[in-house]
């Protein structure tokens, strides 16, 4: 087995292991902190694929932003450690159906994709290319995404704002 393969499986094990911890841990704080391993593992896989910019942004946004917000929400919730069982309201059967459909879709898309193995891996800089593509071929989706984000921002401000009573 090649060394690169060993490293890949190591990263994958960290990612899947901490994701399992997120899902199965009884303590919601541990779940939240385990997300760190998942996000870092995904960033590691991006590095492995030679996507340096995406890896950097993955750590910056997910670890620096989203994980911290999740931790905030968890820690500010009253008596959070007393909550032992997560979300019993829906029940197991509907969950099983949803998971089954998701699994089918995933397996199907893995089987449909024509996988090719690159002969030689090039670790070339990608940042400039990503920028060019965003502002040329994919300008419309890029602008649409920023509009959605702006709408989300305005919505958040509107919800959290206190109306002054006269």
Contact letters for another protein, residues 10-39 (x by CB under 8 A): -------------------x---x--x---
Could you say whether residue 3 binds another protein (CB under 8 A)? yes
In angstroms, rounded to a whole number, what is the distance separating the alpha carbons of residues 71 and 82?
Answer: 16
Q: Binding string to another protein for residues 81 to 120, with x set by CB under 8 A, is what?
A: ----------------------------------------
Size of site (CB under 8 A) for another protein:
23
Write down the least CB distance from residue 151 to another protein, Å. 19
For another protein, what does the binding mask look like between residues 47 and 66, x meaning CB under 8 A? Answer: -----xx--xx-xx--xxx-
**Is 147 a residue that touches another protein (CB under 8 A)?**
no
> Which parts of the chain fold into alpha helices (H)?
3-24, 28-48, 52-58, 68-76, 92-112, 127-135, 139-160
| Contacts of 46 by beta carbon, 8 Å cutoff, 6+ apart | 52, 54, 55, 58
Give the nearer residue to another protein in terms of CB position, either 9 or 104. Answer: 9
Query: Closer to another protein at the Cβ: 4 or 101?
Result: 4
- By three-state DSSP, how is residue 98 classified? helix
Whether residue 18 contacts residue 34, with contact meaning beta carbons closer than 8 Å, is answered with yes
Q: Are 86 and 28 in contact (CB under 8 A)?
A: yes
Could you tell me the smallest distance in angstroms from the CB atom of residue 29 to another protein? 6
Q: Most distant CA pair in the chain: distance in Å?
A: 73
Residues 64-83 that bind another protein (CB under 8 A): 64-65, 67-68, 71-72, 75-76
Give the Cα separation of 82 and 43 in Å (integer). 33
Q: Please say whether the beta carbons of 56 and 29 come within 8 A.
A: no
Residues that bind another protein (CB under 8 A): 3-4, 7, 29, 33, 36, 52-53, 56-57, 59-60, 63-65, 67-68, 71-72, 75-76, 125, 127
């Amino acid at each position: 087995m090649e060394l690169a393969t060993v490293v890949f499986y190591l990263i994958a094990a960290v990612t899947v292991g901490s994701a399992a911890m997120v899902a199965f841990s009884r303590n919601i704080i541990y779940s939240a902190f385990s997300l760190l391993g998942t996000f870092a593992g995904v960033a590691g896989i991006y590095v492995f694929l030679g996507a340096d910019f995406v890896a950097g942004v993955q750590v910056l946004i997910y670890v620096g932003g989203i994980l911290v917000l999740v931790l905030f929400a968890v820690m500010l919730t009253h008596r959070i450690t007393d909550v032992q069982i997560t979300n019993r309201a829906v029940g197991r059967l509907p969950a099983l159906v949803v998971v089954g459909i998701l699994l089918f879709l995933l397996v199907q898309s893995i089987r449909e994709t024509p996988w090719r193995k690159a002969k030689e891996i090039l670790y070339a800089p990608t940042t400039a290319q990503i920028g060019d593509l965003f502002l040329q071929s994919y300008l419309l989706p890029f602008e649409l995404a920023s509009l959605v984000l702006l709408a989300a921002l305005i919505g958040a401000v509107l919800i959290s704002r206190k109306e002054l009573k006269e």
